[in-house]
Amino acid sequence: MTVYTASVTAPVNIATLKYWGKRDTKLNLPTNSSISVTLSQDDLRTLTSAATAPEFERDTLWLNGEPHSIDNERTQNCLRDLRQLRKEMESKDASLPTLSQWKLHIVSENNFPTAAGLASSAAGFAALVSAIAKLYQLPQSTSEISRIARKGSGSACRSLFGGYVAWEMGKAEDGHDSMAVQIADSSDWPQMKACVLVVSDIKKDVSSTQGMQLTVATSELFKERIEHVVPKRFEVMRKAIVEKDFATFAKETMMDSNSFHATCLDSFPPIFYMNDTSKRIISWCHTINQFYGETIVAYTFDAGPNAVLYYLAENESKLFAFIYKLFGSVPGWDKKFTTEQLEAFNHQFESSNFTARELDLELQKDVARVILTQVGSGPQETNESLIDAKTGLPKE
């Protein structure tokens, strides 16, 4: 049996200008353009191996070691589009093996717990689509491939690029102009770092998919957001990224997170993704920026209580003087810092003479872990395969 295989890793991205609302739920066409930062795959990535062979009996998916249904419409849409592109190649070149007619085996694993509430579906669909595109040796550009990932999970299209990425909403009814483009590469502004505070919480009440359509249908303020607030912010944020203007990037990021959650609250019934812990983290970010008299940190919250803090490498010790003081007991710090480095953060806090506000050290009880990472690259082909090339099945 000849098994064709390809393996790709793909990153998580965290939006700084939020995607919230679909104008077409089947095609995952958004009501507004969005912007995100792609995070380093050293810390957060999905590895997906795709294989195909004439002997395979059915399309099969294994996620994190378990067989998983592949029959959902979103995944099927991705497979159909990828096969169609392969078929076009095969029709032009009869020497190509007819991969488009064979079944697929797909094996996928995250290097982070799904329960962390991070955007695992974005990395997942980006890896799935990229791995099959590699397997099929598709000649399409990354933006073109991102259109297919978009059909799997809207925000997945942004994980097709590294660095700073825009998802342009497009105008066409068939969605051919709704895809990701890179605003700047990670190497253009490599100083961007991220600190994820994973907030302990019960499962969220309302999924993103349900939540965003409730907002579209019921929020009286939503129209203003998509018609005026976001288009203006999109240009301001893009410019701030190109010019590496952190203060503007940070302010727009924070305001957009608040604007998105405001339209959730304005939905009926209202949707709450942030909790009291999230709010206290927000309040601390404003306190820290105020203390230093400059904007050194930005917060953003997706459809859940976890905080993602963006900051520049040059301000790490100023920021962590506070963040390590507040969340020092939370796991995750020793993956990136030595005991001496962590002690230095403590020392910096003590010598800062901060007295403006009581340190609510109870806060760290509500945070489960900290993930320290930074801006990173887009999907990468890898020799690390999850599929046994002899059997076409997941490796033991």
Annotated binding-site residue numbers: 19-22, 74, 153-158, 209
**Pick 79 or 199: Cβ nearer a second copy:** 199
Three-class secondary structure of residue 392 per DSSP? coil
**Pick 270 or 331: Cβ nearer a second copy:** 270
Best CA proximity match to 241, nearest among 257, 252, 228: 252
- Closest separation in Å from C-beta 254 to a second copy: 7
Measure the CA–CA gap between 368 and 379, rounded to whole angstroms.
28
What is the 8-class DSSP label of residue 375? B
Measure the CA–CA gap between 7 and 130, rounded to whole angstroms.
9
In the list 58, 71, 269, 355, the residue contacting a second copy (rule: CB under 8 A) is 269
- Closest separation in Å from C-beta 314 to a second copy: 24
**Residue 102 neighbours by CB distance under 10 Å:** 18
**Pick 220 or 343: Cβ nearer a second copy:** 220
Output b/e per residue, 261-276; b: 16+ Cβ within 10 A. bebbebbeeebebbbe
Report the DSSP beta bridge partners of residue 356: none
Task: Show the site string, 281-320: x = touches a second copy by CB under 8 A, - = not.
Answer: -xx--x----------------------------------
**Residue 196 neighbours by CB distance under 10 Å:** 24
Length of the chain: 396
- Closest separation in Å from C-beta 21 to a second copy: 14
**Pick 52 or 278: Cβ nearer a second copy:** 278
Q: Which stretch binds a second copy (CB under 8 A): 34-42, 93-101, 237-245, 266-274?
A: 266-274
Q: Are 263 and 20 in contact (CB under 8 A)?
A: yes
Q: How many residues bind a second copy (CB under 8 A)?
A: 30
Best CA proximity match to 382, nearest among 103, 11, 86, 65: 11
**Pick 235 or 276: Cβ nearer a second copy:** 276
- Closest separation in Å from C-beta 265 to a second copy: 4
Measure the CA–CA gap between 104 and 293, rounded to whole angstroms.
56
Q: Cα torsion at 249, 113, 376, 193 (round to 10°)?
A: 40
- Closest separation in Å from C-beta 330 to a second copy: 20
In the list 205, 243, 314, 343, the residue contacting a second copy (rule: CB under 8 A) is 205
**Residue 205 neighbours by CB distance under 10 Å:** 11
- Closest separation in Å from C-beta 276 to a second copy: 5
- Closest separation in Å from C-beta 98 to a second copy: 53
**Pick 263 or 306: Cβ nearer a second copy:** 263
Binding residues for (R)-5-diphosphomevalonate: 19-22, 74, 153-158, 209
Task: Show the site string, 226-265: x = touches a second copy by CB under 8 A, - = not.
Answer: --xx---------------------x--xx--xx-xxx-x
**Residue 93 neighbours by CB distance under 10 Å:** 7
Measure the CA–CA gap between 336 and 97, rounded to whole angstroms.
46
> Which residues of the chain form contacts with a second copy (CB under 8 A)?
205, 219-221, 223-225, 228-229, 251, 254-255, 258-259, 261-263, 265-270, 272, 275-276, 279, 282-283, 286
